[in-house]
Structure 1
């Protein structure tokens, strides 16, 4: 299954934040939307980074409550890994596992097109395995 298919099902809406906003604003956004990461974008949908709960915890541990007043740019992961719509679920799973992260922005023509979470990947992988098992059961039953 391709990332394109996942985005077609779940939609391409992505919660974003500008790099000059504060970490406190990002925390409020994460809580309000009940999500674990927000994509940091510059003008025109260009990906500048990603800010995850882990990034925030690291900054809080280093700076205490003052971290909440700092700009997102100082806490985000700037070297963000991305995928495109032609990546497979297995490709995305490999990227996430190697990088040890749970959210992967999807880029199309150099701009943000969506986001894939580990939950999306696991859900699709389970669906694929269940489908394969059903095909095997049908094959055995008709053989």
Structure 2
């Protein structure tokens, strides 16, 4: 199975913020959208970075109460690891686990076509295991 299979179910909407948005605005956006990370883009689908709840909590530890006035570009992760729609789910899960990444933009060429989370991968794998279980149970019942 491929990352594209997750995007077929989840959708391809990519929520973004601009590098010049304040951390206060970024935090509000994370809450409004009920997501854990946002792509940082200057426009036209560019990927300048990614900012997550983890980045903000680390920023709070270093900058204290003044964090709200910092910019997304101050706290974002810059060297963003991405995956492609044709990448296998198991390989992508391995990368996310080994690198301790919870959100991964999906890039097709130079365009960001989605974002997946470790929760999306877990849900997909769980659904897959449940389907296999039902099939095996049906086979066992049919053999009786």
Same fold (TM over 0.5): yes
Q: Can you give the 5+ residue segments of structure 2 that lack an aligned partner in the other structure?
A: none
* Cα distance between partner residues in 2 of 1:2 and 1:17: 27
Residue 15 (structure 1) aligns with: 15
For normalisation by structure 1, the TM-score amounts to: 0.93
Matched, 1:68 2:68: yes
Deviations 1:36-94 (A, max 9, x none): 11111123211111101010011111011212111111101101111110012212211
Q: Can you give the 5+ residue segments of structure 1 that lack an aligned partner in the other structure?
A: none
Residue 46 (structure 1) aligns with: 46
- Count how many residue pairs are aligned between Structure 1 and Structure 2: 143
Residue 109 (structure 2) aligns with: 109
For normalisation by structure 2, the TM-score amounts to: 0.92
Q: Which runs of 4+ in 1 moved over 2 A?
A: 134-143
* Cα distance between partner residues in 1 of 2:3 and 2:21: 30
How many Å apart are 1:125 and its aligned residue? 0.2
